[in-house]
């Protein structure tokens, strides 16, 4: 059987191929996830996520090409980091392409390391709480946030691999 789009919205599509059903990004939109590490600290964001009906702790991230056709992953990462955290990246380096839940979602994301960070003084986007956490304190920080009822995004495992 061939792939068919069962339903498509602005950002996602429900897909089917035979008995397989999954979610996909609409319009070839990509995603950039930013591992922003500077001076022994990492930038994490806390925000409410409707699909989980819960607050989460995540690496800063954003969509690539959702508003600007031809947007590069690097420029999207720099833009999203500033919007979500108020910090500016002096440099971004691609670390690889990853899938977070390949049995249910076809979306992949590009992981980028941001360095040369400077605080712009701008506040994060509405609804986002910025946490600048010492790398040595990340496990205890995440444990406290779980105890508070927050959900920890699996992409935070990248801290263990790339830092």
Token pair of 81 as six digits: 């980091």
Question: pLDDT digit string (tens) for 59-114?
Answer: 999 999 888 878 999 999 999 999 999 999 999 999 999 998 899 999 999 999 99
Instruction: Supply the CATH number for residue 74's domain.
Output: 3.90.79.10
CA 150/CA 144 separation, integer angstroms: 9
Q: What is the pLDDT of residue 1?
A: 61
Q: Which of 118, 141, 151 is nearest to 51 (CA)?
A: 151
Residue 9 in domain: no
Give the span between the Cα atoms of 84 and 56, in whole angstroms: 14
Q: Does residue 15 lie in a domain region?
A: no
Cα separation of 63 and 11, whole Å? 9
- The pTM score is 0.92
Could you tell me the residue range of the domain that residue 60 belongs to? 28-162
- Are the C-beta atoms of residues 102 and 77 closer than 8 Å to each other? no
Number of domains in the chain: 1
């Amino acid at each position: 059987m061939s792939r068919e789009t069962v339903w498509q919205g602005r950002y996602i599509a429900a897909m089917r191929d035979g008995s397989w059903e999954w979610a996909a990004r609409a319009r070839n939109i990509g995603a950039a996830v930013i591992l922003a590490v500077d001076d022994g600290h990492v930038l994490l964001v806390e925000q409410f996520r409707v699909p989980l009906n819960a607050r989460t702790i995540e690496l800063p991230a954003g969509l690539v090409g959702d508003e600007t056709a031809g947007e590069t992953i690097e420029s999207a990462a720099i833009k999203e980091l500033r919007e979500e955290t108020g910090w500016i990246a002096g440099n971004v380096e691609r670390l690889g392409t990853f899938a977070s839940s390949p049995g249910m979602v076809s979306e992949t994301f590009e992981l980028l390391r941001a360095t040369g960070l400077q605080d712009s003084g701008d506040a994060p986007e509405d609804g986002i709480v910025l946490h600048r956490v010492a790398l040595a304190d990340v496990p205890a920080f995440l444990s406290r946030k779980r105890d508070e009822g927050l959900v920890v995004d699996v992409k935070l495992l990248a801290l263990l691999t790339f830092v």
